[in-house]
Amino acid sequence: MASPLFLFLCFYSLFFTTSYSQRQSLLSTNYYQKTCPRFEQILQDTTTNKQISSPTTAAATLRLFFHDCFVGGCDASVLISSTPFNKAERDADINLSLPGDGFDVVVRAKTALELACPGVVSCADILAVAARNLVLMMGGPYYSVKLGRKDSLISTASSIDGNLPKATMPMNQIIQIFESRGFSVQEMVVLSGAHTIGFSHCKEFSSILYNYSTTSESAPSYNPRFSQALRDACANYHQNPTLSVFNDVMSPNKFDNMYFQNLPKGLGLLSSDHALYLDPRTKQYVDLYAKNQTAFFEAFGAAMEKLSVYGVKSEGKGEIRRRCDAFNN
């Protein structure tokens, strides 16, 4: 007779697979073909113009998309502004450093789409497609984005705790956060490759950069010359908390596999970056993607397609917001 644990695992696997398939079936790549035929063109024009005028937009939007999807699904809940009656997700401590360019590109696209086809396109779809377009614009892979998401009806800062990985978390905890959402260790590593673009504030890695131990100023996993350069660059971070450094110091404005090539050389920035190379569960994938950019691009595209349908809201469980930063009420 099967054990209760075995039956539970079978049920969980069946439930996750079924619900994932159901979410997929609600979406389609041509969802707006009749209701908003200029959707793709408007998104393309908006993301291109924004990235040209503000080169940090791609990394900002990709990070915003990830922070949205991992808390309750890809439903634009992170875009909601707080009110006197509700502290929203974007005001949780971990989200306070989300760059404004990510929010701005969504607002610009929503404004243009509301003029072309009012009340049709969700903010969640805008964010998902904007992230894909900007990855491609930075030299990364193209991947399909299915459409038809609805926007969330709730957004609370309290829902953030424990649901987003932090650079200072032990690898066990980071892996658990991904696995609880149906993502493998390999998918976690490949999504971490998004750090090939963007930057991090000095305070996010100061604990392994300064006064690391009685025998070492910085973590020994750092390249010594790199850690000295970082200490110099971040010297005044207490007085200026906006001080930041590129995640990939070798090719910060290009989406490539250089992030993975940096890790064995001690050129990772965050504690979690170093852990990816030091942990045997993840090192094999770091080595694979460092050697093979094609493998990285293929796996990244597949993981982003999977992430983009995580926890999407369907009719009756969401809405098409008139403004991306406020519920319709």
Known binding-site residue numbers for substrate: 165
Give the closest residue to 308 by CA, choosing from 28, 3, 2, 97: 28
Give the closest residue to 98 by CA, choosing from 77, 112, 79: 79
Question: Amino acid letter at 243?
Answer: L
Question: Amino acid letter at 201?
Answer: H
Tokens for 205, please give them. Answer: 């890695």
Give the closest residue to 52 by CA, choosing from 253, 252, 201, 251: 253
Binding residues for Ca(2+), by number, are 68, 71, 73, 75, 77, 89, 196, 248, 256
Please name every residue paired with 91 in a beta bridge, in sequence order, or none if there are none: none
- Given a contact cutoff of 8 angstroms between Cβ atoms, the answer to whether 195 and 272 are in contact is no
Tokens for 62, please give them. Answer: 């990709």
Binding residues for heme b, by number, are 195
CA torsion angle 185 311 95 219 (round to 10): 0
274 catalytic residue (yes or no): no
- Given a contact cutoff of 8 angstroms between Cβ atoms, the answer to whether 247 and 199 are in contact is yes
Binding residues, by number, are 68, 71, 73, 75, 77, 89, 165, 195-196, 248, 256
- Given a contact cutoff of 8 angstroms between Cβ atoms, the answer to whether 268 and 274 are in contact is yes
C-alpha distances out from residue 184 to 254, 259, 307, Å:
26, 20, 12
Please name every residue paired with 319 in a beta bridge, in sequence order, or none if there are none: 151
- Given a contact cutoff of 8 angstroms between Cβ atoms, the answer to whether 248 and 197 are in contact is yes
- Point out the residues that are catalytic: 67
